[in-house]
Structures are given as C-alpha cells and as structure tokens.
Amino acid sequence: MNKTEQARLIIGRLSEQAEGNSIVHRISPLCKLFITIVFIGVTTSYGKYDLSGLFVMILFPVIWYQFAEVSFSECLYRLRYVMPLVVIMGLANPFFDKEIVLYVGRVGISGGVISMLVLILKGLLCLFMSYLLVATSSIEEMCIAMRRIHIPAFFTTLILLTFRFVTLFLEELSVMTEAYQLRAPGQKGIQFGAWGSFLGQLILRSVDRAQALYESMVLRGYSGEISYYGYKKYSKWSVLITVLNLCLVVLVRYVRF
C-alpha cells in the first residue's frame, strides 16, 4: 500500500468516527471547540516543574473519552506526527537543568527530568483533547459553527471544498503514481525531470474539474450557506456541560488540594 492510499484511509476513518452518535457527538461543535481551547490554554499555562498539578488534568480526557466512545488507539497513532518536536525539546532539558529538586528514595531527580515529563505530558493532554474534538465533529458541523460566529461564507466554502478535493486528489495521485511505476520499474519515487509535468498536469486537470463541480453547485442554488447539514440534533445540555467543564478546569487549575 503506498503513501497516498494510507492518507486516504486516515481521512476515511476520521470522518467515519465523526459520524458517531455518542453524548459527546451531540454536543454543539462551538461548545466543544470552546471546551477544547480552554483545556489547552489551561494545560499549557502550568508551570514547567508543576508535574503533580498537571497530572490531575489527565482526568479530563479520561472522562471525556469514556463518554465519547472514541477509539483511544487511533488517537495514539496520531502521536507520531505531533510528538517528535515536543520530545526533542523535552529530552534536552535533563542535560541542561541538573539541579536536584526531589528525592524518590535515594534517587535524586533533577529539575530537567521533571520539566521534560511536564512538557511531554502537556503535549499528550493537548493532543488527546484536540483529537476528541476532531473525532466527534464532522467538517460540515464545524463549518456551520464557523458561519454562526460570522466567519465569511467564502472561507467555510473554501474549507469544505478543500476537504472534498483532498480525497479526489489523493485518488488521482495514487492512480498516476501506479501508472508511472508500471512504466518505470525499480525506480524509487518519481524522477525529478517528471515532477513538473506530473504535478502540473494534475493541478491543471483538477482545477478544470473543480470549476465544473463548483459550477454545478452554484447552478443548484448554492450561495455559501450550508443550510443542508443541519440534521444532527444537538443536545440541549451543551452549554450547561460547557460551563460545568469550565468550572472544573478552573477548579483543578487554581485550587490546590
């Protein structure tokens, strides 16, 4: 399976998950967005040695995931894209910050180790919550939410169309790659001389297709409003849950037990 196929699979899996019907799926997307941003803001605001304080925050994703019925392993799979830079940054800390701050039994633990753990934990927590948002809201719902906070229709249309075209694009790309490889056995990748015409053709052709597609949307009365996708019923408790979550986050962050 080549890379483009893999990319398509990822997209497919994510949109399938977003179609679920758990309690969390039914919270209005704007509320979920707010919850996520608050969580991330608070998480990143922890001091760099405040491991024990930060650790309590784990409870939030744990609880949310229980209600969302979202696969946790899928989320872990995404770590490989996001975590490398965070881990590199973190790994440096023990080398530069060697002051011992804590003894566990006889073993002294330096500030660097603590701050490394804090950084990695922050990375994980933020990712868990962002992934929860992704896995429980579809792109259309998000675009409706964006329209509600007056983001221009131009922009939401751009996002929707881009998302649609990615699948088409990857499809074409994988067909073309196959066609190329059939005529160039044993070559790794595509040789430089062909890059321009390979991608260039793809672009020009896709632009034509995209224009035809957009025309047919406009012909059927599309004017930027995605009135269509409203069919999901949102839970009446959305705002209540959001406020509750906000209170809990602030409580955990600012009150020491």
Partner 1 sequence: MHMADALLAPAVAATMYGASLATTGVAIYKLKKENSFDMEDSLKKIPTMAVMSSLVFAGQMINYTIPATGSSGHICGGVMLSALLGPWSAFLSMIAVLVIQCLFFADGGLMALGANVWNMSFYGCILGYFLIFRPIASGKILKNVNARSRLIIASIASCIITLQLGAFSVVLETGASGITELPFGAFVALMQPIHLAIGLVEGLATSAILVFVYENRPEMITCLTDSKEGKTSFKTTLVILAIVACVIAGVMSQFASSNPDGLEWSLFGNEEAGYAANMGLDEDDYGVQSSAAVVADSIQSKTAFLPDYAFANDEDNRLGTSVSGVLGSAMVAALAAIICLAGKIFRTKKQA
Partner 2 sequence: MISFQDVSFAYPGENNILEGFSLDIKEGEQLAIIGANGAGKSTILKSVLGLLDIRGDIYIDGLKLEKKNLKQIRKSVGYVLQDSDNQMFMPKVIDDLMFGLINYGMSQNEAKKKSEEVLQMLGIAHLAEKHNYKLSTGEKRMAAIATVLAMEPRIMLLDEPSAALDPSNRRKIINTLNSLNITKVIATHDLDLVLDTCERVILINQGRLVADGAVKDILTNRQLLENNNLELPFSMV
Report the C-alpha dihedral over residues 50, 51, 57, 61, rounded to 10 degrees: 140
The item of partner 2, partner 1, none sharing an interface with residue 231, based on CB under 5 to 8 Å by kind, is: partner 2
* Enclosing H/E stretch for 102: strand 100-104
128 class by beta-carbon count within 10 Å (0-12 exposed, 13-18 middle, 19+ buried):
buried
Examine residue 19 and tell whether it contacts partner 1 (CB under 8 A). Answer: no
The item of partner 2, partner 1, none sharing an interface with residue 230, based on CB under 5 to 8 Å by kind, is: partner 2
Which residues are at the interface with partner 2 (CB under 8 A)? Answer: 164, 209, 212-213, 215-223, 225, 227-228, 230-231
Examine residue 114 and tell whether it contacts partner 1 (CB under 8 A). Answer: yes
The string over 37-69, giving b where at least 16 C-beta atoms fall within 10 Å of a residue's C-beta and e elsewhere, is ebbbebbeebeebebebbeebeebbeebbeebe
The item of partner 1, partner 2, none sharing an interface with residue 23, based on CB under 5 to 8 Å by kind, is: none
Of 127 and 170, the one with the shorter C-beta distance to partner 2 is 170
Q: Which x/- pattern over 226-255 shows residues binding partner 1 (rule: CB under 8 A)? A: ------------------------------
The item of partner 2, partner 1, none sharing an interface with residue 216, based on CB under 5 to 8 Å by kind, is: partner 2
Name which position in 20, 71, 101, 234 contacts partner 1 (CB under 8 A): 101
DSSP, residue by residue, 104-123: ETTEEEEHHHHHHHHHHHHH
| Tokens encoding 26 | 């039914």
Examine residue 46 and tell whether it contacts partner 1 (CB under 8 A). Answer: yes
Using the rule CB under 8 A, give the single segment among 164-172, 179-187, 232-240, 241-249 that binds partner 1: 164-172
Separation between Cα atoms, residue 165 and residue 139, nearest integer Å: 13
Size of site (CB under 8 A) for partner 1? 108
Using the rule CB under 8 A, give the single segment among 84-92, 179-187, 226-234, 239-247 that binds partner 1: 84-92
Examine residue 200 and tell whether it contacts partner 1 (CB under 8 A). Answer: yes
The item of partner 1, partner 2, none sharing an interface with residue 40, based on CB under 5 to 8 Å by kind, is: partner 1
Closest CA to 33 of 101, 132, 107: 132
Separation between Cα atoms, residue 151 and residue 143, nearest integer Å: 9
Instruction: Give the type of residue at 92.
Output: A
* Enclosing H/E stretch for 103: strand 100-104
